[in-house]
């Protein structure tokens, strides 16, 4: 078989621990034999981040701006224990945080559905993608414990010196207080990423907030979504046969539970924090959840939603057998290859991504799966395989599909 050609390289961002081991297995078994893989490689493994004083993370982000599409392995976000373990010069910030700060995107998380791993909600027939606004609100709040009676004000001092002052509350005794903010520019970016993503997957977009109570704050979010829809996406949505729909957050939750799925659900920061965890556990497993960062300028960065699976890595280092699920990491690659094919007009590359995803699903549906899925599957006849055996089984299914 002739290998599938690529024109533009993918930005390949390597990572840490068990996912770094899976990364190489996936390339060797599932990509290199089939695709004339072109990548520009950035090693975000913690030792190399340390060698470059984390410059490599910034270089990787800029490469995504140059080429448009990246694929990322899970990486360690250092804490005090990691600084010691890796003898780091600094407690570097989260690579995903750095990438997001440079690309200014929204993260979309989508569960991978297979027969035999059923969602808890039986009417969910297709995946629900959650888009979480990852800027501001309560995550950047200023809080105070109020010790005694007194009056709290919301004060804004404009650059020209004009001051507006509104009373928040006249405390008669101790209490608590918090202030938070968001910016039009971030909300516009969020909205544009959501519309662009919904259009690219041809699914309806829902946005939910609580503008009946928070008339100005959440009201502004609603207005900005409406503005982007009316002025930039209405026609495109119509052509694609999809709709945009705003509803209150509590109504959205009720409707999601009754829906058949196949929706992109945009959430404010806190709502997204809460409901992404609800969706990922209701759909089955963190190891079956993909994630893509979409920038408002149309750059895409694909990855698995889980971390580096540290506990399995220590077993691997000790020479013990591991049964780590590589599905979300494989889907990060297929997502990136499909997008690259789409942007470069290479149908074979898009076709290969579909074929590889189907091979993964067929393999699991035939009963061959890693330990995490064995625990939750409804299939009766199953075979538990180790990390490499799973990838090799997918390769056999893939080869048989040509
Ligand atoms: P984790 O890597 O997501 O793993 C947590 C647990 O979930 C594992 O111990 C394992 O459970 C299960 N699990 C997750 N992915 C799995 C897979 N593919 N196959 C089988 N089981 C899987 O989270 P963590 O161990 O808390 O974090 C490890 C490192 O990852 C941290 O240094 C953190 O900074 C980093 N992290 C990176 C990202 C990212 O790059 N996007 C995201 C999150 C965390 P069992 O042990 O019970 O088998
Ligand atoms: Mg959370």
Q: Which CATH number is 275's domain given?
A: 3.40.718.10
Measured distance CA(347)–CA(354) in Å, rounded: 11
Query: Residues with Cβ within 5 Å of ion ligand 2?
Result: 273, 277
Residues 124 and 238 in one domain: yes
CA of 135 relative to ligand 2 center, distance in Å = 14
Atom of ligand 1 nearest to the CA of 371: 20
Q: Are 257 and 125 contained in the same domain?
A: yes
The reply to whether ligand 1 has any atom less than 6 angstroms from the CB of 310 is yes
State residue 134's pLDDT score.
Answer: 81
pLDDT for res 283: 87
Same domain, yes or no: 396 and 304: yes
Pick from 132, 154, 179: which residue ends a domain?
179
* Residue 339 belongs to some domain of the structure: yes
Task: For residue 137, give the nearest of 196, 98, 179 by alpha carbon.
Answer: 179
Beta strands in 29-149 (DSSP E): 39-43, 69-72, 106-111, 128-132, 142-146
Mean pLDDT of successive 10-residue stretches along the chain, which has 402 residues: 94 98 98 98 98 98 98 96 96 91 88 92 93 88 96 97 97 97 95 93 96 97 98 97 97 95 95 88 87 89 95 97 98 97 97 98 98 95 98 98 92
Rounded distance between C-alpha atoms, residue 116 and residue 97, angstroms? 35
Domain count, the chain: 3
Evaluate whether 241 touches 202 at the Cβ level (below 8 Å): yes
Kindly list the distances between the CA atom of residue 324 and the CA atoms of 82, 188, 256, 285, 386, in Å, as whole numbers in the listed order.
22, 39, 31, 12, 7
Q: Are residues 105 and 223 in the same domain?
A: no
Same domain, yes or no, for 383 and 264?
no
Three-point CA angle 271, 135, 56, nearest 5°: 125
Q: Return the ligand number nearest the Cα of 279.
A: 2
Q: Based on the fold, state whether residues 108 and 224 are members of the same structural domain.
A: no
Residues 151 and 2 in one domain: no
Q: Is residue 288 part of a domain?
A: no
Please check whether residue 200 lies inside any domain of the structure: yes
Residue 289 forms part of a structural domain:
no
Q: Give the closest ligand to the alpha carbon of residue 271.
A: 2
Decide which of 283, 314, 338 is a domain's last residue: 283
CA of 174 relative to ligand 2 center, distance in Å = 30
Is 279 found in the same domain as 131?
A: yes
* Structural domain includes residue 223: yes
At 281 the pLDDT is 84
Q: Check whether residue 273 and residue 329 sit in a common domain.
A: no
d(CA 79, CA 88): 10
The residue whose C-alpha atom lies closest to atom 42 belonging to ligand 1 is 307
Is there a single domain that holds both residue 273 and residue 126? yes
Same domain, yes or no, for 56 and 136? Answer: no
Residue 215's domain comprises 118-140+182-283
Q: Which of 93, 308, 314, 332 to mutate to test the pocket of ligand 1 (most atoms within 8 A of CB)?
A: 308
**Ligand 1 atom nearest 328 alpha carbon:** 18
The pTM for the full model equals: 0.91
* Contact call for residues 176 and 145 (beta carbons, < 8 A): yes
Which letter does DSSP use for residue 148 in this model? S
Q: Which of 231, 251, 283 is the last residue of a domain?
A: 283
Of 286, 307, 323, the residue with max ligand 1 atoms within 8 A of its CB, to mutate for a pocket test, comes to: 307
Question: Does residue 269 share a domain with residue 126?
Answer: yes
Does the C-beta of 329 come closer than 6 Å to ligand 1? no
């Amino acid at each position: 078989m002739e290998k599938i050609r690529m024109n533009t390289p993918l930005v390949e961002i390597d990572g840490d621990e068990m996912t770094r081991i899976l990364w190489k297995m996936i390339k060797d078994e599932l990509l290199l034999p089939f695709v004339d893989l072109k990548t520009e490689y950035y090693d975000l493994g913690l030792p190399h981040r340390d060698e470059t004083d984390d410059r490599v993370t910034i270089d990787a982000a800029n490469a995504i701006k140059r080429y448009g599409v990246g694929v990322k392995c899970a990486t360690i976000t250092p804490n005090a224990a990691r600084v010691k373990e890796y003898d780091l010069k600094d407690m570097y910030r989260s690579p995903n945080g750095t990438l997001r700060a440079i690309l200014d995107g929204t993260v979309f998380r989508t569960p991978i559905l297979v027969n035999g791993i059923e969602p808890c909600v039986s009417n969910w027939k297709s995946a629900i993608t959650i888009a979480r606004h990852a800027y501001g609100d309560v995550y950047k709040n200023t809080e105070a414990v109020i010790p005694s009676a007194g009056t709290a004000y919301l004060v804004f001092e404009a650059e020209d010196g004009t001051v507006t002052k509104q009373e928040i509350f006249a405390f008669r005794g101790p209490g608590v207080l918090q202030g938070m903010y968001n910016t039009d520019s971030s909300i516009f970016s969020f909205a544009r990423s959501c519309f662009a993503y919904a259009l690219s997957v041809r699914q309806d977009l829902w946005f939910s907030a609580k503008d009946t109570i928070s008339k100005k704050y959440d009201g502004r979010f609603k207005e900005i979504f409406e503005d982007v829809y009316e002025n930039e996406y209405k026609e495109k949505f119509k052509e694609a046969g999809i709709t945009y729909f705003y509803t209150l957050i509590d109504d959205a939750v009720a409707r999601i539970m009754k829906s058949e799925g196949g929706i992109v659900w945009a959430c404010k920061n806190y709502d997204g924090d809460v409901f992404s965890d609800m969706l990922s556990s209701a759909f089955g497993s963190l190891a079956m959840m993909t994630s893509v960062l979409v920038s408002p300028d149309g750059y895409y960065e694909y990855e698995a939603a889980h971390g580096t699976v540290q506990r399995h890595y220590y077993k691997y280092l000790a020479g013990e057998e591991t049964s780590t699920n590589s599905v979300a990491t494989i889907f990060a690659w297929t997502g990136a290859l499909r997008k690259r094919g789409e942007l470069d007009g290479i149908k074979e590359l898009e076709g290969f991504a579909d074929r590889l995803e189907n091979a993964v699903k067929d393999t699991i549906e035939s009963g061959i799966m890693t330990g995490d899925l064995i625990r939750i599957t409804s299939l009766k006849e199953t075979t538990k395989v180790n990390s490499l055996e799973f990838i090799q089984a997918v390769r056999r299914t893939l080869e048989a599909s040509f």
